[in-house]
Amino acid sequence: MPGAQDRSYFDDNYADYEKQTSPAKLRFYMSMLRRWVPPGGRVFELGAGLGHFLGEAAKEYDCRGCDVNAYGVAAARARTREDAVFEGSFETLASQPRQAAVVSWDMLEHIADIDGALSAVHAALEADGVLIAAVPVYDGPLGWLVRRLDRDRTHVWKLSRRDWIARLERHGFEVVEWGGIVRRLVFRRIYIHLVRPQWLLRRVGSAIYVVARKKT
C-alpha cells in the first residue's frame, strides 16, 4: 500500500485513531472471537494497526499479527511482544503454524491482491478455522455517504456486502455469520459503534462484519 508506511498515514487518514478504536468496538470484536475460538487458540491479526485489538486478544489467546506500516508495527509490538508482530502483509502467514482464526479489521479493502490474500488466509487456517473480518461497504441507502466521506486513497476495494460474501465463498469459505455495522466519529468527540438492530443494519450499515469458516 503506497503511502502507508509511517506515522503520516495515520495522521493524514485517521487523526482520531484512538477515539475511533473505542472500547465498544474492541468489546464487539472480542465477543466475536470468543464465540468462535476457544481460549488459548492461535489467532493472527492481518493488519494490526497500532495494536489495540492484538493487545486485548493476547490476554486470552496465542496471538501474532502483521502490518505493512513500520510505525504501526512498533506501536503494536509495544502493546504485545517484540516477536509477535511482523512487518508485511498476508505473505507473513506462510511462516506461521496453522491458526484457529485470522482476524482482519478494516484491512481487506486495502489489499490490491485480495484474491492472493484470501487464498493465503484459507491455507493458514486449521480445519474449520475461521476468518473474522470487518470491511466498509459501499452499497445500500448509505453507500453514497460512505463514498463521500471515504478519503483514504489506499482503499482499493469499494465493494457491496454481497460482493464480499460472494468473494469469500469463491475462495473456499462458508459464511456462517454476518451483519451490518454503523460507526462514525461525531464532532470528533463521540464515536458511535452500532450493531443492533440487525434487521435494519444488515441492509443499511456502512460496514459489515463476517465470520467465514474454512471448508475442507
- At 30-75, the pLDDT tens digits run 999 999 999 999 999 999 999 999 999 999 999 999 999 999 999 9
66 strand-pairing partners: 46, 86
Cis peptide before 197 (omega within 30 of 0): yes
The x, y and z cell numbers of residue 185, run together, are 466519529
Angle value at C-alpha 18, between 13 and 24, nearest 5 degrees:
120
176 sits in which H/E element: strand 173-186
Which domains are assigned to the chain?
7-214 (3.40.50.150)
pTM above 0.85, yes or no: yes
**Segment 162-209, tens digit of pLDDT:** 999 999 999 999 999 999 999 877 767 777 889 999 999 999 999 999
